[in-house]
A and B are shown apart, each in its own frame.
Chain A
Amino acid sequence: MKCEKCENKAIIGNPILCSEHFEEYILKTVQDTITQFNLFTKETKICVAVSGGKDSLALIDILIRLGYSVEGLFVNEGISNYREYSNEDLEKFMRKNKLLLRTTSFQDLVGHSLDEIMNTEKFHACSVCGTLRRYLLNKFSKEYDVIATGHNLDDEAQTVLINLARGNTDLMFRGGPKSKPTNQFTQKVKPLIFVSEKQLLTYAIIRKIKTGFEECPYAQTSYRAHLRDLLNEEESKNPSTKLNILKSYLNLEKNIIKCDVKEKELCVCSVCGEASQEGICKACKLKEEIINLLH
């Protein structure tokens, strides 16, 4: 297959582009998302949430190339053998790009790694991970204007379906490219939501960002993994399925339901002082449970 824009050979079929034009396409897609949804400007202090995957490093790479100023916040969950790059590679990448990388971990917060927490067999990995991660990201991002995460089109389409299938109408309209600004929580933005996971991997390989492969060992058991497989099957037969799901969501959010969604009142956690929906925040409750079980 030949590139739609030049005589070179295409490296990807959706859209049909050579590597040079594909890079250009990715940069434009992300810039268009930032502009269309007014995510941030060149003056914004951006904190990129760095995880074990290629997505967050690709995000940093893209944002730097587009001329934004970013720093990294690395949340180490403590999952052994789960890194798509080694810690040395991560540090090298940040040093090469002259970027500050701050590090925090589940170990620092609750005294145990996710592996240790899961060994108790009392918790659901994705829910523990989500609660502690959200908490740490918020806690350590106060001096920034926004937290940018590497969520891609696949993640977003899965989330829409999960909320629909579970009847989570409260959570339903917390998706999309940016969270509502509040005083207590740093605003979250997702510049990659129009880039599919396959496109992101392609970009990461062209840019030599991806160095290895490990799938999160806890992902297999999740409902999200089930929907991921279902969506991939559908997308292989009907390209644009994922994009259509995201676009439907964004249209719904814009046109119908937004005005009816009530935000819960926020107060301050009596244990840690962070913003919370109840007297004691979810992270502190979870921390107590974990400590009780593991001591």
Chain B
Amino acid sequence: MKIYIERNKENKEFDFKGSVQDLLDTLNILSETVLVVKNGTIITEDEELINDDEIKILSVVSGG
């Protein structure tokens, strides 16, 4: 799975299957601090992901 983590401007690629919440747990990211986008659409934490999905993890934190 290809994952882009906006906050660190970091691209990752590894095998993954499971829910968005599982992915966030794996990456040690709190769900409250991010929005997860799959193929251009915002998805909820319960959504199941497959290895072919391209995921963007957007950071909620900002300054004003």
Q: Which residues of A are at the interface with B, using a C-beta cutoff of 8 A?
A: 1, 10-13, 16, 19, 51-56, 82, 84, 149-150, 197-198, 201-202, 205-206, 213, 215-216, 219, 228, 232-233, 235-236
Contacts and interface: CB of A to CB of B under 8 A. Distances in A.
Listed residue (B41, B45, B59, B64) with the most chain A CB atoms within 10 angstroms of its CB: B64
A235 B32 contact: yes
17 contacts: A10-B44, A11-B42, A12-B44, A16-B44, A52-B63, A53-B63, A82-B63, A84-B62, A198-B35, A201-B60, A201-B62, A205-B42, A213-B58, A215-B61, A215-B63, A232-B32, A236-B32
A12 B42 contact: yes
Contacts of A205: 35, 37, 42, 58
A2 to B, nearest CB: 10
B59 A236 contact: no
Interface string B31-51: 111010100011111110000
A197 B61 contact: yes
Given A201-B60, A215-B63, A235-B32, 19 more contacts: A1-B46, A11-B41, A11-B44, A13-B45, A51-B63, A52-B63, A53-B62, A55-B64, A150-B64, A198-B60, A206-B42, A213-B7, A215-B59, A215-B61, A215-B62, A216-B63, A216-B64, A228-B61, A232-B33
B64 A202 contact: no
Nearest to A206: B42
Contacts of B33: 198, 232
B interface, how many residues as a size bin? 20 to 34
Contact of A202 (B30, B31, B42): B42
A131 to B, nearest CB: 15
B64 A53 contact: yes
A236 B29 CA distance: 10
A52 B60 contact: no
A197 B43 CA distance: 17
Given A213-B59, A233-B30, A56 B46 contact: no
Contact of A11 (B31, B43, B61): B43
B24 to A, nearest CB: 9
Contacts of B37: 205
B44 A197 contact: no
B6 interface: yes
A84 B44 CA distance: 23
B35 A202 contact: yes
Given A205-B35, A213-B7, A236-B31, A197 B60 contact: yes
B39 to A, nearest CB: 13
Contacts of B31: 236
